Structure 1
Amino acid sequence: MLGGGLLLAVAVVLAALNLRPVITSVGSVLDEMRDGLGASDTWAGVLTTLPGLCFAAAGLAAPALSRRVGLRTAVTVALLCASVGLALRVLNGPFVMLGGTLVACTGIALANVLIPVVVKASFAVRIGLMTGVYTAALQLGGALGSAVTPSLEPVFGGWRGALVSWAALAALALGVWFVATRNEPSLHEASSPAEGKPKRSLLRVPLAWVVTGFFGCQSCLAYIVMGWLPQVLMDAGVSRSEAGLLLGLISLLGLPVSLTIPAIAARRGSQSGWVVIHGAFAISGILGLLFAPAFSPLLWSVLLGLGMGVFSLALTVIALRAKDSADTAALSGMAQGFGYLVAAVGPFLFGLLHDVTGGWTASFGLLLAVVLLKVGFGYFAGRPRYV
């Protein structure tokens, strides 16, 4: 087991910073991209759908890749794909943009699954702390992608330069990762099955499906909120700019939660109580938005943001429910692969219910059901057992 040096911790943080800007940097300049490339709204829809599909597919493929080439090489490939894809996607027309985005999203999807395995292998006695730091960096990267990209346009001569500038961050993460892990030979075997341990499929393990349900429900909640909260708030009379700020506040609330709760929860035998607390915050925020959205949008957003902080806890649970790095890779891949498929359906159903009923009540009923399922799955996933 590795000692988990400072340089490796920096490499993990830099990798995490790259796992969202490839997605969030697009949203702030999407209209300019579409017009500049002469693309259609259908093309824009495909572009914004690619990340979720990659997360699901690569999540299922990452454990096999890690077993075949080793954890260090697998993460290197992931960061290389992110760097190359980010650089290539702005070089030509709409199809090159789709191709480059596909390559970049494949890389970050692989890293999504593999970085928690690195934490398990290299920071075994600090799983909660490092998971919190990793999650905070991931959320910070997402916030920077959406907030900073517009201001980079005048610096780099337009949206192409602004988008390609994120390739530099990915290249930096790749370089630091390569240096930090060159003297860590055990990372080559971090996700290999333990000696004498028979190969098995977690698809037959009930606890693995419970963890997958927990991760899927929390991801579904996050996708719905990120996609629909501004519209809900604007329908309640909140201005467009204020609605955007409130959504940003929800993202920022994840930082202190990620830096504190996982480290505390990991020191306890069970994490079920923390899941229930997060669920209570989320339910309170949802009920406020449903019955009195104009009363205090700030309060409801804060409560919802605290409830969505369960993402870092879900990643911690994945590491804690596995005995070794091989099981961590398999469980992380299963939970994220199937979980993101569940998450992709949520925003569609939320919007469909709104279109069919003409109001938000049925949509919020769906959201409450998702949170209750999340609490149920999370309660049992948080109990001290192993897959």
Structure 2
Amino acid sequence: MTIADRETRAEELVGTGAAEWADRRAALIGTPLLIVGVALAASNLRPAVTSMASVLGEVRDDLGAGSAWASLLTAVPTICFGLAAIAAPLLGRRYGMARAVAIALSVLTVGSVLRVVDGPWVVLGGTFVAASGIAIGNVLIPVVVKESFPHAVGRVTGVYTAALAAGGGIGAAFTPPLESLLGGWRGAVGAWAALSAAALVVWLFGARHGRSGGQASAAPVRARSIFRSPLAWAITAFFGLQACVAYTAMGWLSELFVSQGVTRTDAGLMLALINLIGIPLSFVVPPIALNRRSQSGWIVALACCSLLSIAGLAFAPVATPWLPWVWTVLLGVGMAVFPLGLGVITLRTRVSSETTDLSAMAQGVGYLVGASGPFLFGVLHGVTGGWAASLALLGAVVVAEMVLGWIAGRPRFV
């Protein structure tokens, strides 16, 4: 082969590599199968949390762990969501959205199995691994929605958040029965790895990048760091506070009700109901609210429902047999602010690169803020022996969420 032939061959190889790299950066093709893949991936982003929360008392007793360990376990997912979210944009840019989300589902599956094979520290470690996979999906799937379905962001966001809610509710409702069926909490909690493995298979078939013709498009570059935008910080704080409320509820509501005399089965159903309420609301609220110029009023109204629920839990948690269900429904309605949190991330940015950066910032920093909620809620309960101080703290968080949500919902760009 002559020198000229070698140079020609090298150029062909470089061109092929550049084309492959450009295709990785192209948006995923917005097909119905991709919507199914998004929904199935989303349905796996909560069972790892709610399944463990629904049998937390049994897990703690079986492992001989204390309340501090239980508080740490409930905080681990949100801590990990914050730390691992920082790596998500790097994975998306390096491997493309299709491969990055596949990596997320693979890591989630491995962690879901790992955390049921040994003692307290392995449970914590496996939960951290599983939550790392969840964190990557949390950041990247909203970007897939914006890129692949630019004219249907509200509708597809509704599908995504409905699947999130369904997955969380199913994990909470079915884990206690599975505990009896599979001989203990290990089998019941570990069984959810099968769901994430199935979602991985569907994702591998449904996620396909478009062709860029071998030329990487010149994506607009932001002139300054997203971290210098006051609006980005307001959105991040709002997202973190709503996460604080949501994960505190998912981690501790079941134990609160059991301590008040509610049966473990009913408490698990109430935890499931909080998540399942989000399914119909996800199909109604995002398409309406995200198509308006401002989302501030919607955010404040939903947060008021959470505040009413917390007041009820503090002053009359089980005064009548039906009141726990009322507080559960109100809290579930209030937690429907989550899809609006995702929505303002997409609406307050102009291009997908900004969306990725803001999503990583809001979820990376926000979940680290949110992680303090379940931990402090549990610590205050352990110190005081009651729930009043813990619920007062949670109520203050909701008030701050309202203020920052009003700012985040106003029609501006970061």
Q: TM-score range by the shorter chain?
A: 0.7 to 0.9
Aligned pair partner of 2:237 in 202, 210, 213: 213
Tell me, yes or no, if structure 1 residue 257 matches structure 2 residue 284.
no
Q: Rg bigger for which structure?
A: 2
Name the SS for the 1:386 alignment partner.
Answer: coil
Structure 2 residue aligned with 1:103:
129
1:90 to 1:10, Cα distance in 2 relative to 1, 3 A: same
Provide the C-alpha distance between the structure 1 equivalents of 2:125 and 2:383, rounded to a whole number of angstroms. 35
1:193 to 1:101, Cα distance in 2 relative to 1, 3 A: farther
Tell me how far 1:224 sits from its aligned partner: 2.9
Tell me, yes or no, if structure 1 residue 298 matches structure 2 residue 322.
no
1:104 to 1:350, Cα distance in 2 relative to 1, 3 A: closer
Residue type of the alignment partner of 2:162:
A
Residue pair 1:88, 1:100 contacting (<8 A) in 2 also: yes
Tell me, yes or no, if structure 1 residue 167 matches structure 2 residue 193.
yes
Tell me, yes or no, if structure 1 residue 282 matches structure 2 residue 306.
yes
Sequence identity of aligned pairs in percent? Answer: 54
Tell me how far 1:254 sits from its aligned partner: 1.6
Residue type of the alignment partner of 1:21:
P
Tell me how far 1:359 sits from its aligned partner: 5.9
Residue pair 1:272, 1:378 contacting (<8 A) in 2 also: yes
Structure 1 residue aligned with 2:355:
328
Provide the C-alpha distance between the structure 2 equivalents of 1:28 and 1:236, rounded to a whole number of angstroms. 16
Tell me, yes or no, if structure 1 residue 310 matches structure 2 residue 334.
no
Residue type of the alignment partner of 1:249:
L
1:160 to 1:255, Cα distance in 2 relative to 1, 3 A: same
1:182 to 1:225, Cα distance in 2 relative to 1, 3 A: closer
Name the SS for the 2:152 alignment partner.
Answer: helix
Aligned pair partner of 1:80 in 97, 101, 106: 106
Provide the C-alpha distance between the structure 1 equivalents of 2:148 and 2:162, rounded to a whole number of angstroms. 18
Tell me, yes or no, if structure 1 residue 380 matches structure 2 residue 403.
no
Aligned pair partner of 2:91 in 59, 62, 65: 65
The CA deviation string for residues 346-387 of structure 1, in whole angstroms up to 9 with x for no partner, is 234345555666765544443332122111111111112121
Tell me how far 1:26 sits from its aligned partner: 2.6
Provide the C-alpha distance between the structure 2 equivalents of 1:98 and 1:356, rounded to a whole number of angstroms. 23
Provide the C-alpha distance between the structure 1 equivalents of 2:347 and 2:311, rounded to a whole number of angstroms. 32
Tell me how far 1:200 sits from its aligned partner: 3.5
Provide the C-alpha distance between the structure 1 equivalents of 2:405 and 2:228, rounded to a whole number of angstroms. 19
Provide the C-alpha distance between the structure 1 equivalents of 2:256 and 2:112, rounded to a whole number of angstroms. 33
The CA deviation string for residues 146-179 of structure 1, in whole angstroms up to 9 with x for no partner, is 2223433565565444444322221221122122
Gaps (5+ residues) in structure 1?
A: none
Tell me how far 1:94 sits from its aligned partner: 5.4
Gaps (5+ residues) in structure 2?
A: 1-26
Tell me how far 1:129 sits from its aligned partner: 1.3
Structure 2 residue aligned with 1:248:
272
Residue type of the alignment partner of 2:312:
G
**Superposition RMSD on alpha carbons, in Å?**
3.2
Tell me how far 1:231 sits from its aligned partner: 5.3
The CA deviation string for residues 198-257 of structure 1, in whole angstroms up to 9 with x for no partner, is 464211111101111111111112233334445555666656654444333322222211
Structure 1 residue aligned with 2:8:
none
> TM-score if structure 2 supplies the norm length?
0.81
1:238 to 1:14, Cα distance in 2 relative to 1, 3 A: closer
Residue pair 1:193, 1:326 contacting (<8 A) in 2 also: no
Segment drifting more, 52-61 vs 148-157: 148-157
Name the SS for the 1:314 alignment partner.
Answer: helix
Between the two proteins, the alignment pairs up a number of residues equal to 383
Residue type of the alignment partner of 1:251:
N
Provide the C-alpha distance between the structure 2 equivalents of 1:47 and 1:235, rounded to a whole number of angstroms. 19
The CA deviation string for residues 308-357 of structure 1, in whole angstroms up to 9 with x for no partner, is 21112111111111212211111111111111122221234345555666
Name the SS for the 1:125 alignment partner.
Answer: coil
